[in-house]
Amino acid sequence: NAGVTQTPKFQVLKTGQSMTLQCAQDMNHEYMSWYRQDPGMGLRLIHYSVGAGITDQGEVPNGYNVSRSTTEDFPLRLLSAAPSQTSVYFCASRSNRVGNTIYFGEGSWLTVV
């Protein structure tokens, strides 16, 4: 049972570099999302998608891009990394059934120096 798989688990970037955090789920879930977790801030929604070809912004979308070309994958792109993007990133997915549970990946620790 793979569930939600995130890669890489750890990454160090230099300011201005770009990178992509990968997220894949094998549960055929329609809904996928990206959160960032910072001390004292809880989890804040970056972007989300309710299905292939559909994405929307969350609470803190600036500096991040997403796309959803398939049901399984939802990559998060940092176009020009900034130290303020140092955080732990979580990908999550769920089905659209009533009362459904959201499943989280194990997290990606990103440091921008």
Partner 1 sequence: AQSVTQLGSHVSVSEGALVLLRCNYSSSVPPYLFWYVQYPNQGLQLLLKYTTGATLVKGINGFEAEFKKSETSFHLTKPSAHMSDAAEYFCAVRAMNRDDKIIFGKGTRLHILP
What's the min distance (Å) between Cβ of 32 and partner 1?
A: 10
Q: Which span (15-23, 63-71, 72-80, 88-96) binds partner 1, by CB under 8 A? A: 88-96
Provide the greatest CA pair distance for the chain: 43
Enumerate helices (H) and strands (E) in the chain, giving the number of each. 0, 11
Q: Select 9 or 18, whichever has its Cβ closest to partner 1.
A: 9
**Would you call 10 exposed, middle or buried from its count of C-beta atoms within 10 A (0-12, 13-18, 19+)?**
exposed
Is 99 a binder of partner 1 (CB under 8 A)?
yes
Q: How many residues bind partner 1 (CB under 8 A)?
A: 24
